[in-house]
C-alpha cells in the first residue's frame, strides 16, 4: 500500500496578538521549518512526533511512504489567509500529482485562519474533492485539538494524544497507522461514536500526570482493551473563539457506543475539572522562596499566561519584576532563573557585547492582554552577559526527543543575582537541556521560573522533590488566560459553558 504522508501543525489562540504568517512556518522555532519530499521523511524518522511514529509503524507494516510535506509554526493568533492558502495548495498539489492508496496527515487540530475557523476540517473537505469519498484518510491530533464535525465527517479515523505533557506523540502516529490498517482491512469505515463535552477545561487542569485526567485516560486505555475499540478524548484548546471550541470524546469499533457511554459518564462531571492552585506573581515567588529554603531540589514557577505554546509571545516581564521585587537574587544569588524571554533586541545586544560584558538595556515587552489591559513594562537595568549561544538545541527529554529547536541568537544574562534567558525566536522551556546548554546545572538552581504551562512537567518532574507541591502556577499578566472564563467570547455558543 502506498500512503501519502503530510503534516500541518498550528494551535491558534484567537485572543493573542501575533499572527502566523508564511514566514512563521519556515523559521523552525519550536517545529522543523517547512520541509518536503525525502528530506521530510529523513528529518522525522525516529523523532518523537506523530509523523515519526507513523513512519516507523508504516515501514514495519511494509507500506510504501509517499512523502508530501510537513510544516508547523509556534502557537499564536490566527494563521494568515496567505499562509493557510499556501499550505492548503501544498496538500492539494501532492494529492493531485502523486500516486497513493491512502493518506495520513499529522494535524494539530486547533488551527484557525483569518478567513476559516476550522482549518483542519477545511483541508480535509478540500482533499475529499480531489481524492474521492472512498479513499482512506486518517490523521493524528493533539490532545488540545478542537475536534469539529467537519473533521469527523471527512476523515476515516482520527487519533489524539493521550498524555499532557505530550510524551506519546510518536505512539499516536503509530495508533493512526493502526486505525488505517483496520480501515483498509475492513474495506469500509469503522463505526464511530462521538460526544461533545459541554464546557471548556482550563489548560492547567488538563495534565494527565495528575487527577482527574490521569484516571480518565487510564479508563480509556482499559475500555479500548476490553471492547476492541480505539478511542480518544481531546480536551480542547480553550482559547479559540469559534463555534466548535470544546472538548470531544469519540471511539471507533463495533462497541464504540459502549466505550463512549462509559467514558462520557465519568468525564462529563464538571466539578472535577475546576481550576485550582493558581498564584498571583508575588505570592508565587514568596511561596517558592519558602519552599526552596527547605529543599535541596529546585522549585519551578510556570508563567502560564505568557506560554508560547498557548499563543503568547513569551515576552512579558511580570514574573521577572516579581523576582526582583522580592529580592530573590539576594536570598539565592545566582540560583534563580527565568526564561526564555523572547527579546531579539536584548539578545542581539548581548551578542555584540560578548561574554563578561555589562550592558544597559531593557528586557521584555508590554503587551495587550485578553482583558484589555497591558502587561507590566520592560525591566530596565544593567545586565551582565554570562553566556551566549546560537540557539540551536537538540531536545533530550521525554517530550519531542531528538527534535532540533532553533531560536536564533540566545543569551544568558544576570541582573541583581537573577539569571535571565533571552532568545530571538519563540519557544517554551520544556527541556532541561535548554538551560544546561548555557552552562548552568538546572539541579543546582533553587528557583526556576519558566515560560510554560504544563509541558515542563515531562522533563522537570524528576528534577523537583515533589511535583504536587513544587510546581507552582503563576497568574502573571499575559495574553493566554489561565481561566478560559476570563476571555471575552463572541462566537462560542451558549451551549458551551466558559467554565466547568
Picking from 91, 207, 147, the residue whose alpha carbon sits closest to that of residue 159 is: 147
Scan for cell 467570547, then name that residue.
489
Q: Which of 89, 99, 152 is nearest to 123 (CA)?
A: 89
Q: Which tens digits make up the pLDDT trace of 93-102?
A: 999 999 999 9
Query: What is the rounded average pLDDT of the residues 87-109?
Result: 98
Q: What are 109-118's pLDDT values in tens digits?
A: 999 999 999 9
Q: How does DSSP assign 313-361, residue by residue?
A: -S---HHHHHHHHTTHHHHSTT-EEEEEEE-HHHHHHHHHH-TT-EEEE
| 371: confidence class by pLDDT, cuts 50, 70, 90 | confident
* DSSP code for 78: P
* pLDDT the model gives residue 329: 98
| Rounded distance between C-alpha atoms, residue 127 and residue 106, angstroms | 14
pLDDT digits (tens, 9 = 90+) for 181-195: 999 999 999 999 999
**Tens-digit pLDDT profile for residues 334-352:** 999 999 999 999 999 999 9
What is the DSSP secondary structure assignment for residue 203, as one 8-state letter?
G
Q: E strands of 16-63, at which residues?
A: 35-36
Report the alpha-carbon distance of residue 287 to residue 160 in Å, rounded. Answer: 36
Helix, coil or strand: residue 300: strand
What is the reported pTM?
A: 0.93
| Distance separating alpha carbons of residues 443 and 463, to the nearest angstrom | 6
Give the span between the Cα atoms of 259 and 222, in whole angstroms.
10
153-169: per-residue pLDDT in tens? Answer: 999 999 999 999 999 99
Question: pLDDT-based confidence at 355, cuts 50/70/90?
Answer: very high
Span 12-44, pLDDT tens digits: 999 998 999 999 999 877 788 899 999 999 999
* Cross-strand partners of 342: 423
Q: Residue 337 in 3-state DSSP?
A: strand
Query: Which whole number is the average pLDDT over 42-48?
Result: 92
The answer to whether 446 and 300 have CB atoms below 8 angstroms apart is no
- How far is the CA of 372 from the CAs of 81, 96, 294, 478, in angstroms? 25, 46, 39, 11
d(CA 338, CA 301): 9
- 286 contacts 325 by C-beta, under 8 angstroms: no
Q: Delineate the domains of the chain, giving CATH numbers in brackets.
A: 2-273 (3.40.50.2300), 278-482 (no CATH)
The three three-digit cell numbers of residue 368, written as one number: 495587550
Amino acid at each position: 500500500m502506498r500512503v501519502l504522508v503530510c503534516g500541518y501543525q498550528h494551535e491558534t489562540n484567537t485572543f493573542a496578538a501575533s499572527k502566523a504568517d508564511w514566514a512563521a512556518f519556515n523559521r523552525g522555532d519550536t517545529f522543523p521549518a517547512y520541509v518536503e519530499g525525502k528530506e521530510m521523511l529523513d528529518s522525522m524518522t525516529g523523532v518523537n512526533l506523530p509523523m515519526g511514529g507513523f513512519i516507523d509503524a508504516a515501514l514495519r507494516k511494509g507500506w510504501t511512504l509517499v512523502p508530501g510535506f510537513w510544516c508547523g509554526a509556534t502557537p499564536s493568533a490566527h494563521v494568515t489567509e496567505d499562509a493557510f492558502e499556501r499550505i492548503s495548495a501544498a496538500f492539494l498539489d501532492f494529492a493531485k500529482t502523486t500516486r497513493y492508496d491512502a493518506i495520513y496527515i499529522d494535524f494539530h487540530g486547533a488551527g484557525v485562519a483569518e478567513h476559516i475557523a476550522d482549518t483542519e476540517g477545511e483541508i480535509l473537505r478540500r482533499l475529499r474533492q480531489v481524492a474521492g469519498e472512498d479513499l482512506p484518510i486518517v490523521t493524528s491530533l493533539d490532545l488540545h485539538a478542537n475536534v469539529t464535525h467537519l473533521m469527523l465527517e471527512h476523515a476515516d479515523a482520527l487519533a489524539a494524544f493521550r498524555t499532557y505533557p505530550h510524551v506519546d506523540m510518536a505512539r499516536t502516529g503509530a495508533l493512526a497507522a493502526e486505525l488505517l490498517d483496520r480501515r483498509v482491512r475492513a474495506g469500509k469505515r469503522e463505526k464511530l461514536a462521538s460526544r461533545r463535552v459541554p464546557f471548556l477545561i482550563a489548560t492547567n487542569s488538563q495534565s494527565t500526570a495528575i487527577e482527574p485526567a490521569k484516571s480518565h485516560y487510564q479508563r480509556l486505555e482499559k475500555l479500548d482493551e476490553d471492547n476492541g475499540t480505539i478511542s480518544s478524548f481531546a480536551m480542547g484548546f480553550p482559547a479559540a473563539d469559534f463555534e466548535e471550541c470544546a472538548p470531544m470524546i469519540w471511539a471507533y469499533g463495533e462497541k464504540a457506543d459502549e466505550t463512549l457511554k462509559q467514558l462520557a459518564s465519568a468525564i462529563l462531571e464538571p466539578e472535577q475539572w475546576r481550576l485550582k492552585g493558581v498564584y498571583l506573581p508575588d505570592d508565587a515567588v514568596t511561596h517558592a522562596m519558602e519552599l526552596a529554603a527547605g529543599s535541596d531540589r529546585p522549585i519551578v514557577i510556570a508563567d502560564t499566561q505568557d506560554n508560547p505554546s498557548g499563543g503568547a509571545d513569551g515576552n512579558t516581564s511580570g514574573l521577572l519584576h516579581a523576582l526582583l521585587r522580592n529580592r530573590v537574587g539576594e536570598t539565592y544569588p545566582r540560583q534563580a532563573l527565568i526564561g526564555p524571554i523572547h527579546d531579539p533586541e536584548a539578545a542581539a545586544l548581548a551578542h555584540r557585547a560578548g561574554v563578561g560584558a555589562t550592558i544597559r538595556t531593557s528586557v521584555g515587552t508590554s503587551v495587550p492582554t485578553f482583558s484589555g489591559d497591558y502587561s507590566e513594562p520592560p525591566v530596565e537595568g544593567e545586565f551582565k552577559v554570562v553566556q551566549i549561544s546560537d540557539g540551536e538545541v537538540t531536545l533530550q527529554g521525554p517530550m519531542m526527543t531528538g527534535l532540533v529547536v532553533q531560536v536564533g541568537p540566545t543569551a544568558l544574562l544576570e541582573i541583581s543575582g537573577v539569571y535571565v534567558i533571552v532568545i530571538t525566536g519563540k519557544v517554551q522551556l520544556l527541556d532541561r537541556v535548554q538551560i544546561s546548554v548555557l552552562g548552568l546545572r538546572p539541579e543546582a538552581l533553587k528557583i526556576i521560573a519558566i515560560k510554560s504551562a504544563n509541558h515542563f512537567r515531562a522533563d522537570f518532574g524528576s528534577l523537583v522533590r515533589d511535583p504536587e507541591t513544587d510546581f507552582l502556577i503563576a497568574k502573571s499578566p499575559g495574553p493566554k488566560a489561565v481561566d478560559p472564563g476570563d476571555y471575552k467570547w463572541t462566537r462560542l455558543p451558549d451551549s458551551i459553558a466558559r467554565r466547568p
